[in-house]
């Protein structure tokens, strides 16, 4: 796992931790080792799921990620799906929101730096939402690293309706 500080805006910052991605067709023992590393995802405020949107099997890969997140009990953590490589498909950058107003899906191209502002907005929408929930519940905010998924009463739409 690699971690680094990222500055958002207005003095807000976050720690971005890059963990192993899910790699299909690995030996079972190696997958089990990755699961141990992925268990730290339970402590995250937001999971950024990077999807190669140009891959014909992207839906299956997303399903594989869902299975692993359920197994490590991180399936309730807020997430942003980042559909990357849209440039190879001729698709314009765009976003989708959940019913709480948070950006949950971002279509962009990291290679061409198209739509990356949407990704920053997505992260910020989650940070601001979490701060509002903390304040509404009278909690002191010492950092943006507290997992408040249990406080969030809003349920995101199912994956099937988004894809």
pLDDT in tens, the chain (163 residues): 677 777 776 677 777 766 656 556 666 677 677 766 777 778 888 888 889 999 999 999 899 888 888 888 888 988 999 999 999 999 999 999 988 778 899 999 999 999 998 988 888 887 777 666 555 555 444 444 333 333 333 333 333 333 3
pLDDT of residue 55: 93
Number of Cβ atoms within 10 Å of the Cβ of 130: 22
Sequence-ordered strand ranges (E) for 19-137: 47-52, 79-84, 94-97, 103-107
Evaluate whether 122 touches 47 at the Cβ level (below 8 Å).
Answer: no
pLDDT of residue 132: 61
Sequence-ordered strand ranges (E) for the chain: 2-7, 13-18, 47-52, 79-84, 94-97, 103-107
Task: Give the right CATH number for 2-162 from 3.40.50.10860, 3.40.190.290, 3.20.10.10, 3.40.50.300.
Answer: 3.40.50.300
Give me the residue spans of the domains in the chain: 2-162
d(CA 62, CA 68): 10
What is the pTM for the complete model shown? 0.71
pLDDT of residue 22: 57
Evaluate whether 134 touches 148 at the Cβ level (below 8 Å).
Answer: yes
């Amino acid at each position: 796992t690699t971690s680094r500080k990222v500055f958002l805006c207005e003095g807000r910052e976050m720690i971005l931790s890059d963990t192993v991605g899910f790699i299909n067709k690995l030996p079972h023992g190696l997958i089990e080792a990755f699961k141990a590393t992925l268990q730290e995802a339970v402590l995250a405020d937001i999971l950024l799921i990077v999807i190669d949107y140009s891959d014909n099997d992207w839906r299956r890969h997303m399903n594989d990620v869902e299975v692993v997140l359920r197994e490590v009990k991180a399936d309730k953590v807020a997430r942003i799906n980042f559909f990357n490589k849209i440039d190879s498909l001729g698709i314009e950058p765009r976003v989708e929101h959940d019913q709480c107003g948070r950006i949950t899906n971002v279509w962009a191209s990291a290679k061409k730096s198209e739509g990356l502002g949407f990704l920053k907005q997505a992260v910020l929408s989650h940070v601001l939402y979490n701060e509002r929930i903390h304040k509404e519940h009278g909690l002191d905010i010492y950092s943006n690293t507290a997992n408040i998924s249990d406080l969030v009463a809003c349920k995101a739409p199912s994956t099937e309706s988004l894809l």
